Amino acid sequence: MTSDGGRLDFAGKRAMLMDVAGGLYALKKTLRSDVGFFEKEFMYKAAQEGAKEFLSGVQDVTASNDPKSIIEFMLGLYSLRGYGEFKVLSFDKDTKTVEISSPNTAEAWSFKENRDLQREPVCTYTSGMLSSICRLALVKGMGEDYEMEVFETECVGEGKSGCKFVVAPEEELKSRFPKYDRPKLSLSEHELKLNEEILVKNLELQNLNLALERQVRKRTEELWRAEENYRSLMRLSPDPVVIVAMNGRIHSTNASGLRLLGIEALEDAPEFNVTSMLTDPRTAWDKILWLLEKEGTIGGLEVEFTRTNGTKVVGQINARFADLLPGRCVEAVFKDVTDKKIMEEQVKEARSETEFLNDLLSHDIMNYAFSALHFLDKLWRSNKIAEEDRHSLAVVTKDIQGAFELASSVRDLTKIKSVSKDDLIVKDLKLLIVEATEDTKRMFSDRRVRIDFERHMEPRYVRCSTLATRMFSNLLSNAVKFNTHEEAVVEVTVDNVVDNDTSYWRVRVSDHGKGIPDDEKEKVFARFHRLDTTIPGTGLGLFVAKFIAEASGGRIWAENRVSGDHLQGTTMVVLLQKADERDIARMPRRP
């Protein structure tokens, strides 16, 4: 700080009071208590002495005969010093009373900035400074014991918009403000007050210490219980739980882990290292650490390692980083899936072999049955067969038809499991129905079958499963099978409908059989459900048909051929989605 012609040159920046006042405020904030009387008195006196020393270096500070100008000049010096901006609101020379305001004293500003509002005014240091300034300006020749007192009426530290101070002799303040009371204490009284506050603070610190001890004891007990629970879980876990250091050394494990490793205690193998057990020791452990660094945890990672007795073990690891040792470590739970992997391979081989046998048997049985039906049809038409032998021929034909139907159902059941909406083809609906018609007539070559269907129509392309022909074959076969008339007549019609903004071709297959009761119309599509057990069948035909329709993105249901009378026959309704031009151009057509 320098002086130049009675003017002080300062940086003009606001600075926090990094002095005794700031230190006391920080201590009080730490202890979460208001500033006590002793601290206020100390700061008040410190400010008075500081002002006397500071202003003593200002030449000609009292040269002017205008006390108000002197006060404003000295306040300007403190403003430059960073103690706030001050304004003289009123000045009464006779009563030696000065009213001063400030929107941002250094003390109140710090309380406001820290959002730590107080119940009482806080500008004690500023009050002491104002007391000395006004004394220098107003009181001359009154002796060192004569003081100007200060009463702060409003304070930013209390949440006000600004601070207001009234500086006057003590008697004037008492007459204007009944609340004003700043007793004069002797040094011994100061000591007693200080000792009292020290005692209170010691008690507060003791209580704080006791509270901290209780917290530490509580946390220690919680930690002990958590560790005991963790050890208990490790002991009870049926799966091996292993704590591994970052270099791969096994630090601890439970009984299941010891059995898996093939040792009785880790002390028997102090240098036991997980990397020496892994099938690929050079990269497997590094891969585990890399995945943990990347993902944070590992779930279901499959690894293979070798026991101490040389046997191979396949397992799945769930792991995470933990702080259970000095430094970071890996906590892992190992699940032995060796037997599971062996069983999976066995099941896979058995499934493959079963599928092969199903394909082989179904294919061969159907070929043999189809060939037999072909020759039986010729015999049936032959005039050389006596009428009394035709009954036996019909029985044989029925049995072969049953074998053919059973083999077809088995074949269809093995195939429909792999059918999905992603594996559809585009085909002409007419060709599907014609193929199904021919299959049905071959199966019932011993009967008069008439399937009325308009063949000469424009192509009606549908998106359907590769098994769509089997769906229509099953519907037509049922229509013939459950028709007891001498001639089995089936009507097949096709029209277009729109359902939920989607265009479909609707196929209606109507028979003249004995019909299906209304409460059975949904049940007939269930697996192995047979409405009439006197007629040979597997109970799979309609189940397969429903699966194929839904896999094609369509639907199937049963209705009465004659509304309200189920005894007049049944109509099976199938909806198959129309194929648009893009489907026709994009999707392969199959014969």
CA separation for the pair 528, 542 (Å, rounded): 9
**540 confidence band (pLDDT: 50, 70, 90):** confident
pTM of the predicted protein model: 0.39
Query: Following DSSP, what letter does each residue of 107-129 receive, concatenated?
Result: HHHHHHHTT---SS---HHHHHH
User: To 10 degrees, the CA torsion angle through 49, 50, 51, 55?
Assistant: 110
Q: Which of 71-85, 383-397, 500-514 has the lowest mean pLDDT?
A: 383-397
- Average pLDDT over the chain, rounded to whole? 77
H-assigned helices in 36-83: 37-56, 67-81
Q: What is the pLDDT of residue 15?
A: 37
Q: What is the pLDDT of residue 17?
A: 41
Closest CA to 13 of 101, 106, 100: 106
Closest CA to 162 of 243, 61, 84, 273: 84
CA separation for the pair 558, 478 (Å, rounded): 12
Let me know: does 138 contact 96? Beta carbons within 8 Å: yes
Q: What is the pLDDT of residues 97-120, one digit of tens each?
A: 999 999 988 888 777 777 778 888
Q: What percent of the chain has pLDDT over 70?
A: 68
Q: Please list the helix, strand and coil fractions of the chain in percent, rounded to the nearest 5, in that order.
A: 50, 25, 30
Q: Which of 16-20, 319-323, 434-438, 539-543 has the lowest mean pLDDT?
A: 16-20
Q: What is the pLDDT of residue 89?
A: 95
Q: What is the pLDDT of residue 310?
A: 72
CA separation for the pair 120, 116 (Å, rounded): 12
CA separation for the pair 556, 546 (Å, rounded): 6
Residue 140 vs residue 270, higher pLDDT:
140
Element (H, E) at 164: strand 163-168
Q: How many CB atoms lie within 10 A of CB 447?
A: 17
User: To 10 degrees, the CA torsion angle through 459, 460, 464, 469?
Assistant: -60
Q: What is the pLDDT of residue 443?
A: 77
CA distances 306 to 234, 314, 334, 495, Å, are 23, 9, 14, 68
Q: What is the pLDDT of residues 213-232, one digit of tens each?
A: 888 888 777 766 766 666 66
Listed in order, strand segments (DSSP E) in 284-392 are 297-306, 312-325, 327-336
Q: What is the pLDDT of residue 85?
A: 93
- Res 168 pLDDT > 90: yes
Buried b / exposed e along 181-193 (16+ C-beta atoms within 10 A)? ebeeeeeeeeeee
Please, how many CA atoms are within 13 Å of residue 135, restricted to the half-sphere of its CB? 23
Q: What is the pLDDT of residue 360?
A: 54
Element (H, E) at 149: strand 149-154
Angle between helices 124-138 and 37-56 in degrees, nearest 10: 40
What kind of architecture, by CATH, is found in domain 419-591?
2-Layer Sandwich (3.30)
**329 confidence band (pLDDT: 50, 70, 90):** confident
Q: Which residues pair with 100 in a beta bridge?
A: 88, 165
Let me know: does 332 contact 241? Beta carbons within 8 Å: yes
Q: What is the pLDDT of residues 348-381, one digit of tens each?
A: 777 666 666 565 555 556 566 666 766 666 666 6
Tokens linked to 371: 């060939």
CA separation for the pair 563, 561 (Å, rounded): 6
CA separation for the pair 246, 99 (Å, rounded): 73
Residue 18 vs residue 157, higher pLDDT:
157
**18 confidence band (pLDDT: 50, 70, 90):** very low
Chain centre distance of CA 241: 27
Let me know: does 129 contact 83? Beta carbons within 8 Å: yes
Average pLDDT over residues 43-71: 77
Using DSSP, state whether 385 is helix, strand or coil: coil
Average pLDDT over residues 560-566: 90
Q: What is the pLDDT of residue 38?
A: 62
Looking at residue 208, its amino acid is: L
**1 confidence band (pLDDT: 50, 70, 90):** very low
Q: What is the pLDDT of residues 371-430, one digit of tens each?
A: 676 666 666 666 677 766 766 766 676 666 666 666 666 666 666 666 666 678 888 899
CA separation for the pair 164, 103 (Å, rounded): 9
**572 confidence band (pLDDT: 50, 70, 90):** very high
The fold of the 237-336 domain, in CATH, is Beta-Lactamase (3.30.450)
Closest CA to 132 of 41, 37, 53, 73: 53
Let me know: does 89 contact 99? Beta carbons within 8 Å: yes
Say how many Å lie between the first and final Cα of the chain, rounded.
Answer: 104
- Res 509 pLDDT > 90: yes
CATH superfamily of 2-184: Trafficking protein particle complex subunit 3 (3.30.1380.20)
User: To 10 degrees, the CA torsion angle through 507, 513, 514, 519?
Assistant: -20
CA separation for the pair 75, 80 (Å, rounded): 9
- Res 557 pLDDT > 90: yes
Q: What is the pLDDT of residue 136?
A: 86
CA separation for the pair 455, 439 (Å, rounded): 16
Let me know: does 573 contact 513? Beta carbons within 8 Å: no
Q: What is the pLDDT of residues 192-208, one digit of tens each?
A: 667 777 888 788 888 88
Angle between helices 338-381 and 387-416 in degrees, nearest 10: 150
Looking at residue 315, its amino acid is: G
User: To 10 degrees, the CA torsion angle through 473, 478, 479, 485?
Assistant: 130
Q: What is the pLDDT of residue 352?
A: 67
Q: What is the pLDDT of residue 214?
A: 85
Q: What is the pLDDT of residue 2?
A: 39
